[in-house]
């Protein structure tokens, strides 16, 4: 299982003791504002998320992992990749609200991007973002991602099917298959 390290952070698989930290994020309206429209995740959704990420780590070596402070191993967010229906991968990030604005999302996601590019040899990553989520769009831009398209959320977001999402993409070229025009699908939001 891959553990990624940055100067301040680690991104690692979830452990049983991390559930309260994930719950705190997933039940918080500010955190979920642009994920579910503010609705908290159910206990079943949290269980399914943790199961999906454990499976993702087993299958791909990386998933949406727990972001921790290196010094204290305290969970402050999540970052990583998960497969889209198209076969491409989504790059995602959450940071607990007490820590916003300190560069943590960008730092964690940059390590994920480097691993996806050089270790997993993926050819591209997509960020799936609620259009008003300006902080998340800024993170995508700082990672070198560019706007690709705005699409209906019908296929990707059960909670708000009548809204739209914006896709940002980073393409690596080099090793790996050539980019295709396949449409990304459900990203778990
Ligand atoms: C989006 C999120 C991960 C950003 O985390 P973070 O650690 O604060 O991000 P960073 O500090 O790395 O970068 C944030 C950038 O957005 C900017 N920003 C913050 N709020 C902003 C706003 N309302 N409008 C425009 N830019 C904004 C910051 O200034 C910073 O850019 P800068 O470095 O150029 O100044 C965090 O807000 C979060 O977890 N939100 C809840 C979950 C979520 O929405 N996740 C994304 C789903 S796509």
Give residue ranges with CB within 6 A of ligand 1: 31, 34-35, 93-95, 100-106, 129, 133-136, 138-139
- Burial, 1: exposed, middle or buried (Cβ in 10 Å; 0-12, 13-18, 19+)? exposed
Mutate to test the pocket of ligand 1, among 33, 39, 135 (most ligand atoms within 8 A of CB): 135
For the stretch 112-148, pLDDT in tens is 999 999 999 999 999 999 999 999 999 999 999 999 9
Q: What is the C-alpha separation between 149 and 70, in angstroms, rounded? A: 36
Buried b (16+ CB within 10 A) or exposed e, 84-100: bebebbbbbbbbbeeee
Q: Look-up: residue for tokens 């459900």?
A: 186
Q: Is the pTM of this model over 0.85?
A: yes
Mutate to test the pocket of ligand 1, among 35, 101, 103, 159 (most ligand atoms within 8 A of CB): 101
**Ligand 1: distance of its center to the CA of 96 in Å?**
11
Nearest to 112 by CA among 139, 87, 134, 133: 139
Q: pLDDT tens, position by position, for the chain (189 residues)?
A: 799 999 999 999 999 999 999 999 999 999 999 999 999 999 999 999 999 999 999 999 999 999 999 999 899 999 999 999 889 999 999 999 999 999 999 999 999 999 999 999 999 999 999 999 999 999 999 999 999 999 998 877 767 888 899 999 999 985 444 444 444 443 334
pLDDT at 10: 98
Domain positions in the chain:
4-123
Domain 4-123 has CATH 3.40.630.30: yes
pLDDT at 94: 98
pLDDT at 161: 81
């Amino acid at each position: 299982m891959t553990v990624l390290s940055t100067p301040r952070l680690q991104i690692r698989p979830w452990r049983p003791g991390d559930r309260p930290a994930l719950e705190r994020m997933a039940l918080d309206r500010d955190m979920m504002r642009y994920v579910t429209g503010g609705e908290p995740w159910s206990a079943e959704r949290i269980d399914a998320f943790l199961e999906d990420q454990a499976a993702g780590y087993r299958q791909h070596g990386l998933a949406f992992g727990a972001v921790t402070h290196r010094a204290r191993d305290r969970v402050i967010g999540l970052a990583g990749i998960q497969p889209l229906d198209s076969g491409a991968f989504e790059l995602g990030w959450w940071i607990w609200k007490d820590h916003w604005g300190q560069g943590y999302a960008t730092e964690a996601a940059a390590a994920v991007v480097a691993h996806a590019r050089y270790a997993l040899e993926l050819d591209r990553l997509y960020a799936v973002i609620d259009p008003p989520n300006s902080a998340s769009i800024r993170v995508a831009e700082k990672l070198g991602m560019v706007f690709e398209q705005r699409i209906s959320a019908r296929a990707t977001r059960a909670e708000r099917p009548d809204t739209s999402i914006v896709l940002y993409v980073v393409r690596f070229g080099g090793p790996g298959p050539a980019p295709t025009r396949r449409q990304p699908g459900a990203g778990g939001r």
